[in-house]
Each structure stands twice: as C-alpha cells, then as structure tokens.
Structure 1
Amino acid sequence: MKYYEGVNKWRLSNPNYTDRVIMFYWEQLRAVEAILKKTFPDCVEDISLIDKQTIHSIIHYMQEMGMSDMLIATRLNSLKILITYLSSNGIMMDTGKDIHFRIRSNNKIAFTLQEITAMFNVLDYNSVRDMCTLAIALLMLDTGARTREICQLDMDHVDLVNRTVYLGPRTFTRGENIPFGKITCKALENYLNSRSMDKDQPGVPFFQERDGRRIQDRTILRNMKKMGEMANIQSVRCTPSTFRNTFAIRFLAGGGSAILLMHILCYRKFKSLNRYLTCESQRTEINDDDKRAYRDALNRIFDHCKINHPT
C-alpha cells in the first residue's frame, strides 16, 4: 500500500476525532510524506517499509532542518497514530510504539531573517487581507504582543503619531504603552487606508473582519499559516507564538535588558525568560546578504505605502 493510500484509509475510517483534528493530523502526515520523498522514496511507494530506523532518520532529518521540538513531536505523534491504525488492520507492523521524542523545555525557535524576508515578499500589497496580516506580523515582531491582545485593540489604543500601542490590561500587570518602529507604523496606516477606516474613532476595533466585526484569533492563525505556506516556510510553524519568540530573541540579541523583556512579556519568574536566553544561536545569526535582502523587502513596503505619515 502506498503512503497516501494509507493516509486516506485512516482519514476516511471515521476515527474518534473531530473533522478539525483529522485535518490537522492529515496536514502533518502530508509534511512527513514530503520528508520521505527526499530521504526514503521507497517508503512512499510501500508504507510497510517504514521501520524504527526510518522513523529515527526522519526525526534526525527534522532536527538537522532546524525544526522546533514541538513541531517534531507533533509530526512524530501523527505518524505513530497512522502506523498504529494500519497495524491494527494487518497492513504493517506497529514500528512506532516504542519510539519516543522528548521536548526540551528550553527549546524556542524563532524565524530567521531569510524566512521573514520570504514572507514579506509573497504578500500582495493590494490585498486588504494581506495588508492586515503584514501589519499584525510587524506589530508582533516589534512589541511581542499576544494574539488575544491584537484582537482586543481599538482605534484609540494605537498612537500613530508617537508610534506606541496600548496593550492591556495584561496578565500580572496593568496596561502598557509599547513602542513600535517606523516601518510598522507605515504598515498600520496603510492597512487603515486600504479599508478606508478613520483612526479617530475611539472604541472601534482596529483590526476587523471583512464584515466589520472585531478580528478573531482563528483568522489571524489562518492568515499566518497561509503566509507561511506561500513562502514555503517548513522548518518552523508560522504562528503568532513564533513571531513572539522572534521578538524576544531579537530583543536580547540586540542588547536589550532581560528584566525589561520579562516585564514586556508579562512573565513573573525569570525561569520563563530563560528559555529565550538558551535558544539555539544558529537561527539568530545574520550575514550581510540577509540584511540586504531584508532591506529590499522593507523598501518594497515603503514604496507601496506612499502615505503622508505624521511626524
């Protein structure tokens, strides 16, 4: 039995999962199939050839690609569920039951500069949805805001003159005015212009759905996931939490205070912040070519956002 046939057999077998969970596992299994095509193409043609050594090799490959421990564990768990189902139907041996993968508690993966550049380059700056996704992504990269905080933003919470955003009330702290950069400010203002929205409307949601309602967290997740797929980001999940990790790691790499970062991220214990201090350094290294490509992507944003920005 071919790999995709085994996946489809499991997907159509009506397991005790919701449609949403089945779709999630199906996406992870498709990602595993892409890895098998590169490493063990014979297993794609005959799924019964997947043995313990093959699974260990898949784990090693994902680690070499710099994928986060959480992503590796998720894909491994999806593959084990598939193998267990097929073995119960006598199609193959249950080769994944004794394989375990430990998630390191201090493992935090951020976007590389190349990945951020790739995501910026695939967005359509004439699309209102993409303008919204760009503005949210830049705001998260500059402030480390959570998805919930982004959804709760009103017009009077964003000061485009002083370039600050009010996030709050936050966990363990009162609301805070967090500064953001000039590029983010232009992206935010261009988003407002694309929707013909007036920024002088207190109480009106800043980020909105197509029908004018306050944006939902699932919309942000869906748009970021699509952006990552368009940019072919495979080594890390394109989610708001990854943008938050990127903000924290870049903040520390730029010489920022760990105590200040702990306050911005609303952590009560230094142990929570230690995960960023011990992150893998190879994904934070930046060379001149990466900087040049990143600046070119940002210049595209500046060229498109021809607006009279207040000074």
Structure 2
Amino acid sequence: MYRVQLSRRRNNQLDGQKMLEQPETGVSLEEASRMFLREHRHLAAHTQRFHRENLTSLARILALQGKVILDCRELTASLLKHHYLYYMMDDLHLKPNTINGRIRTVRQLIAFLHQEGYLLRDYGVDVPMVKGDKVIIQAFSEEQVKRLLEQPDKQTFTGLRDYTLMMLLLETGVRISECIGIALRDVHLKEGNIVVCGKGSKHRTVPIQSKMIKVLRTYLAERGAVMSDALFVTIDGTAIQKRSVQEIIGRYGETARIDDVRVSPHTFRHTFAKFYILAGGDIFSLQKILGHSTLDTVRIYVEMFTSDVQQQHSKFSFVEHRLR
C-alpha cells in the first residue's frame, strides 16, 4: 500500500550525534514544540492548528512506545523513521496524506531547532515521505460552471454577492481564506488587479479582466458603505465567514444538481487551474497567480488534466487537421 519516498541522494553528513560535537544545551520535545509554535504564531489560524495537532501526535505516538524526548538531540532521523513514520504506516495504518502532513511539520521542527542552535544540522529531509495511490481531484466542467452561476438570484443583494464571489474564484483561483480576506483597499479596478494575502501572510497581486471588473463594479455599487472594510459582506454589513461561503456554495451545487464533483470553494481553484492550462497558460505564471512557493503542486494540475489536454490536442493538432 505504501512506498517510502526516499531522498534522491544520500546526505554525506553522518547523523549528528555520532561524529560531531553536539550543542551544549538541549530542550525537551515539549518545550521545543512550544518554541516552534510561538515562532510560527504569525501563520493563519488553521495552519497553526495543523502544526499543533501534528506535534501532539508526534509526542503521543513516541510515548506509546515508551519514548519521552527530554532532549531534542535524541530526536534523530533514525528514531523518527522507525518509531514515528513506520509506526504510523504499520501499526496505525494511516493514510499517506495524513502521514505526509505530519512529516512536513516534523521537518519544519527539525529545521527550526537547527536554526536555533539545538541541532548540528537540518536532517529533516532524511525523514522520508510516503507514496500512496494518487487521488484525482476533480474540477468543474464548463457546463457545470454555467449551471452554478445560474443559481444565485442577482435581483437580491446576497445573490449578487454570491455570483460575484464565485466569479472571482473562477477568475483568480484564490483560496477561500484569501477571497474573504480581501478588503476594499485591495481591489484596484483601474489597474485590473487585486492584492490578496496568502499563506505565511505573503501578499501577491492577481490580475482580473474586463468582465470581472464589470461584475465587481456592479456589486460594489450595491454593497455601498458599511462598517466592515471586507469586500464580501453579509446583508448586515459584516464580513462574510469562510463556513458561510462553503455552505452557500454547497447549496448552489445541490440546486444545480451537481453530484459527481465536490462543490466547494477549492474546486473553483482547481477549475481555474484546469482551464488556464487548457487555454495554453504556462506553469510559471500559474504558480505565481496561485501563490505556490514551488512548482510541485502546479505540476500536479498538469498531471490531473492530462486527459483534457489530450482531447484539446486531438481537436487542435496542426498536423492532424492542416496537413494533407
């Protein structure tokens, strides 16, 4: 079921505690976790919760095997592989995505302890990820997008707001947390762009085109002046919340009778990526628009929609249709 994804190249540095002089002081895993979380308190709440839960699972799983880490220098790559990674695989039978999420936190913890001088080197990469069966994340079809956009009643404020919000998700591929975090000052209609705050509180500028600008102008005229500076607000003038958007979009999916694809804000992000690729967009600009730090995730989109690309090629192949 699992395949361990080892590093491509062995790290030439031997495991720290054997060959090199260790730092004079150490901290317990409990204290190291507190320090790590304090250092990362600027991250989004859900990211902080993700790391907190993963660090709790690390301590709990090691404790189940009688290993209480009183000095973080005991937290070697070998210990983490044999008493954490393999335990999650062989004893707990956790899914690859769950395991990899926990390993990502552990890798960041090791890097943090190295930066703080508690570990001689950052050996997090020596704790491998696991490979499992690929999960194919679906996107909406063009026909499904049209059905979804027909659902809001644009003669009402909430309907116009929901229509504008879904259009913006399709136009920019922003995450739902980024979308509801947009303030009026972030919207630049004349320049044709919106500034969003992404993961790690990193700001980026995403472009919008004339149709989206027109929809936003209409919505902003109806939104008017309210106490909140959020772009998307409730009928009472307060900032709309993430859970509310998820529920609203889910209901539109039901009324549109879309049951073969998960109708969620994140599916709009996949849909944006899908049609961007099919239209000939390059992965470098897509990476920048989506706010990914590396190309790894963007490449997944290319793999996800390979069959769609194949269909596009069959329709537009120069050799197939132009040469005789």
What TM-score, normalized by structure 2, do the two folds share? 0.51
> Amino acid of the residue matched to residue 124 of structure 1?
D
Deviation track 1:237-265 (CA, whole Å, cap 9, x = no partner) reads 11111000011111111111212212222
Task: Answer whether contact 1:163 1:179 (CA < 8 A) is retained.
Answer: yes
* CA apart distance, 1:120: 1.9
Corresponding residue of 1:144: 173
Corresponding residue of 2:223: 195
CA RMSD of aligned residues (A): 2.6
Corresponding residue of 2:137: 108
Superposed, which structure 2 residues align to 1:34-49 within 5 Å?
A: none
Corresponding residue of 1:219: 244
Measured in 1, the distance between the counterparts of 2:194 and 2:133 equals 33
Measured in 2, the distance between the counterparts of 1:104 and 1:112 equals 24
Measured in 2, the distance between the counterparts of 1:275 and 1:158 equals 30
> Amino acid of the residue matched to residue 167 of structure 2?
L
Q: Give the secondary-structure state (helix, strand or coil) at the position aligned to 1:220.
A: helix
> Amino acid of the residue matched to residue 234 of structure 1?
D
Corresponding residue of 1:182: 210
Q: Give the secondary-structure state (helix, strand or coil) at the position aligned to 2:146.
A: helix
Task: Answer whether contact 2:153 2:159 (CA < 8 A) is retained.
Answer: yes
Q: Which of the numbers 256, 261, 274 marks the counterpart of 1:231?
A: 256
Corresponding residue of 1:17: none
Superposed, which structure 2 residues align to 1:226-305 within 5 Å?
A: 226-281=251-306
Count of matched residue positions in the alignment of Structure 1 and Structure 2: 182
Measured in 1, the distance between the counterparts of 2:133 and 2:162 equals 30
Structure 1's 264 and 172: CA in aligned 2 closer, same or farther, altered over 3 A? farther
> Amino acid of the residue matched to residue 261 of structure 1?
L
Measured in 2, the distance between the counterparts of 1:180 and 1:246 equals 16
Measured in 1, the distance between the counterparts of 2:218 and 2:225 equals 10
Task: Answer whether contact 2:149 2:166 (CA < 8 A) is retained.
Answer: no
* CA apart distance, 1:103: 7.9
Deviation track 1:60-108 (CA, whole Å, cap 9, x = no partner) reads xxxxxxxxxx9xxxxxxxxxxxxxxxxxxxxxxxxxxxxxxx9843512
Structure 2: give runs of 5+ residues left out of the alignment.
1-96, 98-130, 313-324
> Amino acid of the residue matched to residue 208 of structure 2?
F
Q: Identity of paired residues, percent?
A: 23
Structure 1's 185 and 207: CA in aligned 2 closer, same or farther, altered over 3 A? same
Q: Give the secondary-structure state (helix, strand or coil) at the position aligned to 2:206.
A: strand
Moved more, 240-249 or 271-280: 271-280
Task: Answer whether contact 1:154 1:205 (CA < 8 A) is retained.
Answer: yes
Whether 1:125 aligns to 2:165 is: no
> Amino acid of the residue matched to residue 275 of structure 1?
I
Moved more, 266-275 or 158-167: 266-275
Task: Answer whether contact 1:108 1:280 (CA < 8 A) is retained.
Answer: no
Moved more, 235-244 or 276-285: 276-285
What TM-score, normalized by structure 1, do the two folds share? 0.53
Task: Answer whether contact 2:274 2:305 (CA < 8 A) is retained.
Answer: no
Deviation track 1:174-194 (CA, whole Å, cap 9, x = no partner) reads 412211122221222222222
Deviation track 1:94-139 (CA, whole Å, cap 9, x = no partner) reads xxxxxxxx98435121110000111122321102112111111111
Structure 1: give runs of 5+ residues left out of the alignment.
1-69, 71-101, 287-311
Structure 1's 173 and 258: CA in aligned 2 closer, same or farther, altered over 3 A? farther
* Structure (1 or 2) with the larger CA radius of gyration: 2
The structure with higher relative contact order (CA 8 Å, sep 6+) is: 1
Task: Answer whether contact 1:144 1:243 (CA < 8 A) is retained.
Answer: yes
Moved more, 232-241 or 116-125: 116-125
Task: Answer whether contact 1:164 1:177 (CA < 8 A) is retained.
Answer: yes
> Amino acid of the residue matched to residue 175 of structure 2?
R
* CA apart distance, 1:282: 5.2
Measured in 2, the distance between the counterparts of 1:243 and 1:112 equals 11
Corresponding residue of 1:162: 191
Q: Give the secondary-structure state (helix, strand or coil) at the position aligned to 1:166.
A: strand
Q: Give the secondary-structure state (helix, strand or coil) at the position aligned to 2:194.
A: strand
